[in-house]
A and B are shown apart, each in its own frame.
Chain A
Amino acid sequence: MAHTKRHRVLPGFGLSVGYALAFLGLIVLLPLAALAWKASGIGLAGLLHLLAEPRTQAALKLSFGGALAASLINAMFGLLVAWVLVRYRFPGRRLLDALVDLPFALPTAVAGIALTALYAPNGWLGRAFDALGVRIAYTPLGVGIAMVFVGFPFVVRTLQPVLESLDREMEEAAESLGARRSQVFVRVILPVLVPALLTGFALALARAVGEYGSVIFIAGNMPMRTEIAPLLIVQKLEQYDYVGAAALGVVMLGFSFVMLVALSLLQRWSRRWAETSP
């Protein structure tokens, strides 16, 4: 580091890096170290026992499976909404564009009770679904709907800038060569969008996996059925099982980490694919 310092015109290197590192150390690293330390107290046998518990498995399956399903739905509808917002001009477009961020702006507890009131058997939408024999609130379906709600803006907001910078000449060239509209979309547009689509998918996924406030109200929190992993952590804490809570926290972080690494590998591969395809 010393050899570059001589050429530095701008001040504040030591101060800014030092302050940022000290702050991160105290706020992020030290508490995470406490988590790892506490979790290690469970031991390998204890960890395997925790993972073998049906209730743990059900909660992890619901959190990760629900998040995957919700993020897939968000990827599809996010692509559609981003496409419509960037490519078409229609009255109310800017308002709709601003509305995309609503799930970011609405506090999770507020979203949670609102979704519950909406989809409960006597709610505006719940009543209609109830007539069809479909229960949403207090079922895994309700958990999924809350996860769709919180993850929705990520896909749209990552796709928009890419769609805006898309070179339309490529599309026109493809069409003038006789490609159909659907062919143009699949062969010309989609390959360029896939990396951003994966980024948005990963962000929505990470958010949905850890989501708490908007899910717990609509979930109903029945063990084995609609209990999400973060809630299981809270319940372990309430029973003073600090080690179990910490271990489950580390397991969740570990799963998320593996998933995000896999997605970033997929993204790197898709970027190469986008570069080599026409």
Chain B
Amino acid sequence: MSAMVLPRTSIWPRRLQRAVLVLVAVVFMLVFLLLPLAVVFTEALAEGVRTFFAAITQSEAQSSIRLTLLVAAMVVPMNLMFGVAAAWAMARFEFRGKALLGALIDLPFSVSPVIAGLIYVLLFGAQGWFGPWLDAHGIRIIFAVPGLVLASIFITLPFVARELIPLMQAQGSEDEEAARVLGANGWQMFFRVTLPNIRWALLYGVLLCNARAMGEFGAVSVVSGHIRGLTTTMPLEVEMRYNEYDYVGAFAVASLLALLGLLTLAIKTLLEWRYGAELAAHAPGGR
């Protein structure tokens, strides 16, 4: 700051500078983010509405939709329970190894989805640790629905916990301690004090967890085996149709997934606008 004599004139007037920055940001986002979304719907409807509806009402499409809903219905409750338990442990107690527990919760976000699928193949596949035992008892995990569920649980494990931990830490435990002192037992305290305090953040976490579980591709692709009608979720059905050059069919199913994504985004934004204060500042997650 030695050059105090420098005149404070910039080459561009500030307004122009602003306008240029806004324009660059808007154009970047339109081209990089919005155009791909527009392509999905344009391609899905390229051969008309009737072809589109035929493509999504085909029996394979229908079974992939059912399977996607089934997998999400199993994955979300598991990670909801885990998220609440982990957040309660992390935000309410001090204990040895707490930092390690936190790092473990975040770990799935930095593991490639393909590796997330691979580890279950190595555990439950024919060549895996439990492969021979499972085979002897006639239980199938890999190339079957349990494998899809396990891989999806791994991928979406951090969502609920990461949403709740910072919020519960910020809220503190006075309310809960008061409930205890006034004679509430543990579950009464949890259902009447804790849960109402965290409900919007919980919904937020569940929303993101669900969107990812329904849209997950890499991890389920590795454990699925691509058995049409049995182990193909919607993203896998998209891939198979695309590889068979059925572009309209692929984009038709993809457009349903894109609608799910848009719906998720809309609810998420609404939650942020209305209950921003009740959702703690959180690190970005999602994948």
Contacts and interface: CB of A to CB of B under 8 A. Distances in A.
Interface of A: 1, 4, 8-13, 15-17, 19-21, 23-24, 27-32, 34-35, 37-38, 77, 80-81, 83-85, 88, 90, 92, 94, 96, 98-115, 117-118, 123-125, 148-150, 152-154, 157-158, 161, 174-175, 177-182, 200, 203, 206-207, 209-213, 217, 230-231, 233-234, 237, 240, 242, 245-246, 249, 252-253, 256, 260, 278
Contacts of B283: 157-158
Contacts of B129: 34, 37
15 contacts: A10-B93, A10-B176, A15-B85, A16-B85, A16-B92, A19-B82, A28-B154, A84-B21, A104-B286, A107-B234, A149-B36, A153-B286, A181-B14, A217-B242, A260-B110
B104 interface: yes
B78 to A, nearest CB: 8
A181 B10 contact: yes
Interface string B104-143: 1101111111110011111101011100000000000000
Contacts of B25: 77, 80-81, 84-85, 96
A24 B104 contact: yes
Given A17-B95, A88-B22, A110 B235 contact: yes
B265 A101 contact: yes
A225 B211 CA distance: 33
Contact of A13 (B89, B177, B236): B89
Contacts of A80: 21, 24-25, 28
A217 B36 CA distance: 13
Given A90-B22, A157-B284, A233-B115, A10 B254 contact: no
Interface in B22-42: 22, 24-26, 28-29, 31-37, 39-40
B46 to A, nearest CB: 10
B89 A106 contact: no
Given A17-B93, A28-B154, A34-B122, A249 B29 contact: no
Contacts of B36: 106, 111, 114-115, 118, 149
Nearest to A236: B118
A43 to B, nearest CB: 17
Interface stretch (B51-59, B195-203, B213-221): B213-221
Contacts of B105: 20, 24
B111 A100 contact: no
A112 B81 CA distance: 32
B3 A210 contact: no
A11 to B, nearest CB: 4
Interface of B: 1, 3-6, 8, 10, 14, 18, 21-22, 24-26, 28-29, 31-37, 39-40, 43, 81-82, 85-86, 88-89, 92-96, 101, 104-105, 107-115, 118-123, 125, 127-129, 150, 153-154, 157, 173, 176-177, 180-181, 185-186, 189-190, 208, 211, 214-218, 221-222, 234-236, 238-239, 242, 247, 250-251, 254, 257-258, 260-262, 264-266, 268-269, 273, 281, 283-287
Contacts, number: 298
A12 B110 CA distance: 30
B109 to A, nearest CB: 7
Nearest to A246: B122
Given A30-B123, A111-B36, A8 B93 contact: yes
A113 B242 contact: yes
A237 B150 CA distance: 18
A29 B240 CA distance: 32
Contacts of B31: 125
A178 B236 CA distance: 60
Given A16-B89, A88-B22, A152-B32, A179 B1 contact: yes
Contact of B286 (A101, A231, A242): A101
A251 B6 CA distance: 54
A212 B88 contact: no
B238 to A, nearest CB: 5
A9 B112 contact: no
Nearest to A240: B127
A178 B1 contact: yes
B119 A252 contact: no
A35 B127 contact: no
Specify which of A17, A20, A109, A211 lies most central, judged by the most chain B CB atoms within 10 Å of its CB. Answer: A109
Given A118-B36, A252-B112, 8 more contacts: A10-B176, A17-B101, A20-B82, A27-B150, A111-B36, A113-B250, A125-B35, A249-B114
Nearest to A114: B36
B170 to A, nearest CB: 13
B89 A17 contact: yes
Specify which of B28, B129, B247 lies most central, judged by the most chain A CB atoms within 10 Å of its CB. Answer: B28
Contact of B22 (A35, A77, A84, A181): A84
